Amino acid sequence: MRILGVDPGLTRCGVGVVEGGHRRGVSCLGVGVVRSPVDDELPRRLVAIADGVEEWIDQHEPEVVAIERVFSQQNVRSVMGTAQVSGIVALAASRRDIEVAFHTPSSVKAAISGSGKADKRQVTAMVGKVLGMSSPPKPADAADALALALCHLWRAPMVGRLAEAEQRAAELARNHQQRLRQAARDSSGTRGNHR
């Protein structure tokens, strides 16, 4: 599976592509940041980010785009910019019929380091180690993008199995309900014959 991880940001949007699968190692196919000029108006900045992310998507052809889920912070302006970038990334992927997945920062940290409270330095070090990089990826936005991609790569099979199990359980419940209704109809028909 090939995954593009995106750490959304208006000034620096981290991007990283990993590829791996069942019983195969995982490798980094690319890592970097897409930048927008801080002096530009917001719409132009969003276009710059969209163009850059679309280049990454077109170049690497991921099967999934994993995006960090925006969470509330103290700085509302920062959250708004991050949310807007998340939206344009999701739109770019959806227009290409690419699956989009959102992961919280704590779930990414837990997947990479075993602790949802790991700091950026720990996450960056683990990403470098997992991917066999000679030095940890920089800047932190790029490392976070790779962490998102790895998180999705490792969690997607489990999420898929859970979805299949839920679907099977719902199917079994529907079948059971149908059998109960049929038994009730059969039972009421039998009682009516004895009157």
Q: Please tell me whether 68 is known to bind a ligand.
A: yes
Q: Please tell me whether 58 is known to bind a ligand.
A: no
State in words which class domain 2-162 has: alpha beta
Query: Which residues in the chain come in under a pLDDT of 50?
Result: none
pLDDT of residue 173: 78
Instruction: Say how far apart CA 26 and CA 3 lie, in whole Å.
Output: 11
Task: Establish whether 55 is a catalytic residue.
Answer: no
pLDDT in tens, 61-103: 999 999 998 876 666 677 888 899 999 999 999 999 999 999 9
pLDDT of residue 75: 65
Task: Establish whether 141 is a catalytic residue.
Answer: yes
Residues 21/126, Cβ–Cβ less than 8 Å: no
pLDDT of residue 191: 62
Backbone angles phi, psi at 2, to 5 degrees: -110, 125
pLDDT of residue 114: 79
Residue 73 carries which side chain, given as an amino acid letter? Q
Domain ranges in the chain are 2-162
Q: Which of 63, 141, 164, 166 is catalytic?
A: 141
pLDDT in tens, 119-129: 888 888 888 88
Q: Please tell me whether 51 is known to bind a ligand.
A: no
Instruction: Say how far apart CA 35 and CA 133 lie, in whole Å.
Output: 23
Q: Which of 63, 68, 119, 144 is catalytic?
A: 68
